[in-house]
């Protein structure tokens, strides 16, 4: 960092090199620093992601243990029968529905599994449950699909970065 901050002419004089070579040296040093910072941020992001996955798994396992489903609702979900109209059942929890109604960009507030549930939901049933028109519910599902796709791309990029950085560590 110090070598990058030193004026080019002073460094060139001290190293007995041309200013062009010193510029190349400083540019290379800056690139190395930038790459290290990107790797640090990627590792930090991956650690946060893995921690979030652990937290999500523990929350889901606790919720799965304590959640009991009344027999009538289970029949609707298990058999795939659906009712239309204002009383249509959805597989979405009240918490997810509340987030969808209240948040300006709910796709950013939901975890990936909730986004998948919203995508699997019938558009008409979702619109009915939220008391929205079908177009607004469809737009919400599209936004959820884009967010889920973006998250998947980020995870794939992190895995790629991690495998790349592991490969570089083994080199001399």
Instruction: List average pLDDT for each run of 10 residues in the chain, which is 172 residues long.
Output: 89 91 91 91 89 79 59 46 48 82 80 86 88 89 89 84 70 51
Domains of the chain, by residue range, sit at 8-63, 94-167
Please, how many CA atoms are within 13 Å of residue 56, restricted to the half-sphere of its CB? 11
pLDDT at 115: 85
pLDDT at 170: 54
pLDDT at 74: 47
CA distance 18 to 130: 69
User: What Rg value do the Cα atoms of the chain yield, rounded?
Assistant: 26
- Is 94-167 in CATH node 1.10.1490.10? yes
């Amino acid at each position: 960092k110090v070598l990058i901050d030193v004026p080019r002419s002073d460094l060139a004089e001290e190293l007995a090199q041309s200013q062009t070579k010193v510029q190349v040296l400083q540019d290379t040093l800056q690139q190395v620093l930038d790459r290290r910072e990107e790797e640090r941020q990627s590792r930090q992001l991956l650690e946060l992601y893995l921690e979030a996955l652990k937290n999500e798994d523990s929350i889901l396992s606790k919720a799965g243990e304590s959640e009991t489903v009344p027999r009538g609702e289970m029949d609707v979900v298990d058999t795939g029968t659906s009712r239309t109209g204002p009383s249509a059942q959805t597989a979405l929890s009240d918490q997810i529905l509340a987030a969808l109604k209240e948040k300006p960009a709910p796709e950013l507030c939901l975890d990936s599994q909730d986004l998948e549930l919203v995508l699997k939901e019938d558009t008409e049933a979702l619109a009915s449950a939220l008391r929205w028109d079908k177009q607004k519910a469809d737009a919400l599902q599209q936004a959820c699909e884009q967010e889920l796709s973006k998250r998947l791309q980020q995870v794939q990029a992190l895995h790629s970065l991690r495998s790349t950085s592991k490969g570089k560590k083994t080199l001399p």
